[in-house]
Amino acid sequence: MFFKSQINNLKLKKIKNIELKRLSVEDFKSVEKSPIIIILDNVRSLNNIGSIFRTADAFLVKHIYLCGITAKPPHKDIQKTALGSTKSVNWSYCKTTIEIVNKIRSKEVKVIAIEQTEKATPLQNFRPNKNHTYALVFGNEVKGVSQEVINHCDEVIEIPQFGTKHSLNISVSSGVVLWDLFSKLNYSPILDKSHK
């Protein structure tokens, strides 16, 4: 009974989009980014690619690398789910995933595959160092991150799952991992300004 009366007493007004005080594309381009990079290893679904762009925008991702068969903007099917975030988030294309993994590792970026492997670190146990930049590798919807790419990564993180299915959709797993890393890094250079 107490719970029901609490619900009835809540006077919460839904916030309209115009009240959210989101950044313009120009402001987004100039704001300090989180120390997170995304690498898409042969992702085939255009809708998944667009969803990942939109999530990357939400968490101020520094850059997205589209590799192999991963489609590139502009494309109407990417745009359906990206909702314009292909214009705000920096991205580039690389013919092979290995090429970009080796290139950014040489710049002291910690490369982490999001995959199910032996000795993978459960996501809840991963503790990021606030002084590092992290590149998260998300793989193909069927084959996952290739073994060759895993062999070149610094670490593997797994999202623990407890149901009957063996994996999550890549756009869902990217959202889970990005939010977890972003919140653990406590990264919010504009949070105080944008929510007042």
The pLDDT > 70 percentage for the chain reads: 90
Nearest to 115 by CA among 94, 152, 143: 143
pTM: 0.90
The whole-number average pLDDT for the span 54-76 is 97
61 has a pLDDT exceeding 50: yes
CATH code of the domain made up of 23-194: 3.40.1280.10
> Looking at residues 137-148, what average pLDDT do you find?
97
